[in-house]
Chains A and B, each alone.
Chain A
Amino acid sequence: MQEQQSSPSATDQTESGAEQSTHFGFRQVERSKKASLVAGVFDSVAAKYDMMNDLMSMGVHRLWKRYTIDCSGIKPGQKVLDLAGGTGDLAAKFSRLVGPTGHVVLADINHSMLSVGRDKLRDKGVVGNVDYVQANAEALPFPDNHFDLVTMAFGLRNVTDKDKALASIFRVLKPGGRLLVLEFSKPTNDMLSKTYDWYSFNILPTMGQIVANDKESYQYLAESIRMHPDQDTLKGMFENAGFERCDYHNLTGGIVALHRGYKF
């Protein structure tokens, strides 16, 4: 487990067979199969996704998302793409903030998550300026220079080719627009890191088993977090994709980091 944890790369490709294999948690799988494996995980957890998020983070994920919105600088009338928007936590708030003259697109590669998100937002009365699109972040089906803001909360680590996704996001952003990626990252404190590891590999899968009757998906969650690039590597990937004024802000001791980059 240690060997596998220590080798997350800037891309998801392995040194050998770079074109063919990628990681799925700690496992190596064929690149073409990762999307369907991730889809399997999210098909399984979609119905209890919100409840599990609240349980696993003890509600703190809501504060991380609030911080993301605080950093968005979004104004009425603007266009927002909430990528891997899942159950629509960010999209609901953006819908109110951009108002009737603005537009929010909630996009997710996974149909189950998109359905749960759409039902949830409609039940809350969030209608009119929100559209739902099943889309792959690596090949976004939107015109160039279209969005003022793209957000991706807890989605990038599941993408097979992160560099391709960042390039695709860069393309659809307007000049002056910004990308915000909220994602699990590397704790900055050793003690916190050890406690977090223990929690992730012992408590999370057990919690998944008890609440969602699905231990494997939550084992994958813990593993995928460890395989995700650390703060500085992801910042470098932003810069490689063409983003400028890139920075990141650690939240809860680096368990989560919010990365920000602009397209000029």
Chain B
Amino acid sequence: MPTVPLLTATAEALVNKLLALDPDSTQGLKRLQGKRLVVNLTDINQRVALAISEQVDVLALQELPEGDEHTCVVTTRLAVLPKLKEASQLTQLIKAGELEVSGELAIAQQFSSVINSLNIDWEEQLAQYTGDVVANQVFSIARSVGQQLKRFGDKSSLIVGSALTDEKQLAAHKLAVLHFSDEVSRLRDDAERLESRLSRLESKQS
């Protein structure tokens, strides 16, 4: 079975479904109609294009197009992709050599902005299938369970931390670690001072 077309088909269905769930996203997408964002992943030798019309078509290109006013080509590695979520980080990544952009950078920034500003009312989505009452109850229970799990997680980490540092003394206490770091810094400073004194003495002798 052709794996890459299967992956792009899944990604395409997912992106379009998510965009459809937020009616406000269509406005942002309209500004991008006729534009293409091409992501060239050098480490896995894949070129994925997001061609924007009234929907987003995801293509696994065989040839890398040139960037122009309608096409933004972003060349990067797979590991850098999550960092592209922040449009403000793009310039920093370009300076760091993690990202190369040819063509219209605004296409990448606008698309990133459309995805980041997605605001999906999941409760409303569920209500279409189950009705308002059931959806509200499900989300109330989920929120309550989530809060309880968070409280339980916080409490557990406190208990485990205290048992490891105070009772069993298997790990150092946070304050002890800070104190140790300070001591190491002081020792490094002392050693550097001694080294400079020694070199001064050596230069005097010679």
Partners in one complex: yes
Contact A93 B1 (CB under 8 A): no
Q: Does B63 contact A (CB under 8 A)?
A: yes
Chain A residues 47-70 with CB under 8 Å of chain B are 60, 62-64, 66-67, 69-70
**Is B57 on the interface with A (CB-CB < 8 A)?**
yes
Distance between A97 CB and nearest chain B CB, rounded to angstroms? 6
Distance of B8 from chain A, by nearest CB (Å): 7
A73 interface residue (CB < 8 Å to B)? yes
Q: Which residues of B contact A100 (CB under 8 A)?
A: 34
Tell me if B157 counts as interface (CB < 8 A to partner A): no
CA distance A99 to B59 in the complex (A): 15
- CB proximity of A166 to chain B, nearest CB, Å: 22
A240 on interface, CB distance cutoff 8 Å: no
CB pair A63 B51 closer than 8 Å: no
Partner of A97 from the list B5, B9, B57 (CB cut-off 8 Å) is B57
B2 in the interface (beta carbon within 8 A): yes
Per the bound structure, the CA–CA distance linking A60 and B54 in Å amounts to: 25
User: Which chain A residue lies CB-closest to B68?
Assistant: A75
* B15 → chain A closest CB, angstroms: 14
A66 touches B1 (CB 8 A): no
CA distance A165 to B6 in the complex (A): 32
Beta-carbon contact of B57 and A93 below 8 Å: yes
Chain B residues 1 to 28 lying within 8 A of chain A, measured CB to CB, are: 1-2, 4-6, 8-9
- In the complex, the answer to whether A75 meets B62 with C-beta atoms within 8 Å is no
Cα of A14 to Cα of B60 in the assembled complex, Å: 41
Interchain CB contact under 8 A, B62 and A70: yes
Report which of B5, B36, B63 forms a contact with A67, defined as CB distance below 8 A. B5
**Does A71 interact with chain B (Cβ within 8 Å)?**
yes
Q: Which residues of A contact B63 (CB under 8 A)?
A: 73
Task: Kindly state whether residue B131 has any CB partner on chain A within 8 Å.
Answer: no
With A96-B51, A97-B51 already in contact, the answer to whether A63 and B6 are too (CB < 8 A) is: yes
Q: Are B53 and A69 in contact (CB under 8 A)?
A: no
The smallest C-beta distance from A82 to any residue of chain B, in angstroms, reads 16
With A63-B9, A96-B51 known as contacts, the answer to whether A75 contacts B65 (CB < 8 A) is yes
Let me know if A63 and B1 touch, CB within 8 A. Answer: yes
Contact with B along A68-80 (1 / 0, CB 8 A): 0111010110000
B62 touches A252 (CB 8 A): no
Q: Which of B33, B34, B60 has the most chain A CB atoms closer than 10 A to its own CB?
A: B34
Please report B residues at the A interface, Cβ cutoff 8 Å.
Answer: 1-2, 4-6, 8-9, 33-34, 36, 51, 53-55, 57, 59-63, 65, 70
Which residues of A are at the interface with B, using a C-beta cutoff of 8 A? 60, 62-64, 66-67, 69-71, 73, 75-76, 93, 96-97, 99-100, 125, 251-252
8 A–B contacts, CB within 8 A, in A order: A60-B1, A64-B5, A67-B4, A69-B59, A96-B53, A97-B57, A99-B53, A252-B2
- What are the 7 tightest A-B residue pairs by CB atom distance, in nearest-first order? A66-B5, A63-B5, A96-B53, A63-B2, A70-B60, A67-B5, A99-B34
